[in-house]
Chain A
Amino acid sequence: MMNKTIFKIIAISLFSLFVYSKSNAQCIDLVKDKGFTYLDTSKYVPEARFNALPLREGDDVDIYKSFFKGRKYRIVVVAAENMPKLNFKVTNFQRQVLYDSSITKMESWDFTSEMNQNLIISVFVPKQSDKKKKPESGCVAVVIGSIY
């Protein structure tokens, strides 16, 4: 009886640990699998920062990024499978819109930076129409690559 109880404790502990490490690995996997595929790492060198964070439906986030003169960039925004299709905009500091994914319906944007500049990447997770469903949450990643 005692042995069975100990066995159950160990089994549940291991399961909890598995769930913990799986959620920890989820964001880096999203970046390296889906993000790098859309980026096409044979052409674009991914930047060094890990631009991923957990978001919920209805959340939005602004990320500031520097882009250097004469360099070709690709910006990719991806989310975990359970999340709705994301919208993202790229604006300058005067909030002039340079790219809007809700118009192009594309997950990525290619451009050449004409100057050293700082831009704002605004990501929005839309709410799904079914209000009875619990809002989804999951990893969202902004993957940026450039051609040197």
Chain B
Amino acid sequence: MNKKLLFFSMLISFGVIFFTSCKSGEDADTDDLQGEKVELNDIREEILISMLAPSDMAVMLIDNPNLYFNKDIINPTLNSDKYNTNSKIALNIGIYTADLSYASLFEQEQITYDYLDVVKGMSEELGITNSIEKKHLDMIKNTKMNKNEMIRIINESFMNTDAYLRENNRQKAITMILIGGWVEAQYIAVSLAKGSPKTNQQLTESILAQKISLELMTKALENVDNDKVLISLKNDINKIYKAYILLDENMSDENFKNFCDLIIEVRSNYVV
């Protein structure tokens, strides 16, 4: 009787755990339901941990006194209504997080607030309910904040998302968010560089310092071979890595432009 009791209790518990970890957006579409819970050995944990967050990417590339904020570059918040699959939502959480980090670096409080609010809504669609606290949104809306204070809030919010997804074995979602953020930070950087390595020397150096990020993303995806969405990302990252290697070997205007064009092309596929 006791064993039966324990068995039923465990069955109920696992049932509840299963349903709570698959809630809302997880099952919202069919295209990426398969493979949402990627096996742990498909994406290695230590590689996943090593990848940079979108806000760190933005700081690395764009925190530069000679650059400026250009609202026309970033993905408009109106587009968020178009993202109706988990894959699109995850990629664009990364993209919007890079955008709002860019805005915060130039102390654009209203834009940072608007984008953080959009990311909060999209995160909730993926079942992540506690990533961005209301008190933090209110602080950005109602208080004059400098970039350090805004970055602190952005980082803490992202850490909540990261922790939630990894502790619930949703490696695919966090991988897509990180790759979306990386691509967007690159896109902002190459847009500000205007396709030429001579526009801003520090920016060009930062773009060229991406070898380890690209290698980590390549490694993170190397064992993925049965998930349609991740295979598509893997192909994109491999193409960018090849263009980067050419650029690293020969820093010509043509190679720089090819690299920039490829980033623009890949990014445009993610935001549509």
Q: Any chain B CB within 8 A of the CB of A48?
A: yes
Question: Which listed segment binds B: A11-19, A75-83, A125-133?
Answer: A11-19
Q: Any chain B CB within 8 A of the CB of A116?
A: yes
Query: Given the complex, which residues of B lie within 8 Å of A66, measured CB to CB?
Result: 52, 56, 60, 212-213
Most chain A C-beta atoms within 10 Å of own C-beta, residue among B59, B154, B159, B212? B159
A49 and B174 alpha carbons, distance in the complex (Å): 11
Q: Any chain B CB within 8 A of the CB of A65?
A: yes
Question: Which listed segment binds A: B3-11, B74-82, B108-116, B233-241?
Answer: B3-11
A31 and B163 alpha carbons, distance in the complex (Å): 10
Are B55 and A48 closer than 8 Å at their CB atoms?
Answer: yes
Q: Any chain B CB within 8 A of the CB of A27?
A: yes
Tell me how far the C-beta of B190 lies from the nearest C-beta in chain A, rounded to whole angstroms. Answer: 18
Tell me how far the C-beta of A71 lies from the nearest C-beta in chain B, rounded to whole angstroms. Answer: 9
A9 and B12 alpha carbons, distance in the complex (Å): 8
CB-CB contacts of B30-63 with A at 8 A, as 1s and 0s? 0000000000000001100111111110011001
Query: Given the complex, which residues of B lie within 8 Å of A68, measured CB to CB?
Result: 59-60
Are A50 and B159 closer than 8 Å at their CB atoms?
Answer: yes
Are B159 and A48 closer than 8 Å at their CB atoms?
Answer: yes
Tell me how far the C-beta of B223 lies from the nearest C-beta in chain A, rounded to whole angstroms. Answer: 18
Decide yes or no: A48 and B50 within 8 Å by CB, A66-B60, A118-B212 being known contacts.
no
CB-CB contacts of B187-224 with A at 8 A, as 1s and 0s? 00000000000000000011001001100100000000
> Using a Cβ–Cβ cut-off of 8 Å, how many residues does chain B contribute to the interface with A?
43
Q: Any chain A CB within 8 A of the CB of B83?
A: no
Main SS at interface, chain A: mixed
B-facing residues in A27-70 (Cβ within 8 Å) = 27-28, 31, 41, 45-53, 61-66, 68
Q: Which of B52, B152, B216 contacts A45 (CB 8 A)?
A: B152
Q: Any chain A CB within 8 A of the CB of B148?
A: yes
Are A27 and B212 closer than 8 Å at their CB atoms?
Answer: no
> Using a Cβ–Cβ cut-off of 8 Å, how many residues does chain A contribute to the interface with B?
32
Tell me how far the C-beta of A138 lies from the nearest C-beta in chain B, rounded to whole angstroms. Answer: 14
Decide yes or no: A64 and B50 within 8 Å by CB, A46-B156, A49-B159, A118-B212 being known contacts.
yes
Q: Any chain A CB within 8 A of the CB of B26?
A: no
Query: Given the complex, which residues of A lie within 8 Å of B148, measured CB to CB?
Result: 45, 148
A-B contact pairs, 18 of them (CB 8 A): A12-B9, A13-B13, A16-B13, A17-B16, A20-B13, A27-B163, A28-B159, A45-B148, A47-B53, A48-B56, A48-B162, A49-B52, A52-B163, A53-B46, A63-B49, A66-B52, A68-B59, A116-B205
A17-B13, A49-B49, A68-B59 known; 10 new pairs, CB 8 Å cut-off, are A9-B8, A16-B13, A31-B163, A46-B155, A46-B156, A48-B56, A53-B46, A63-B46, A66-B52, A118-B212
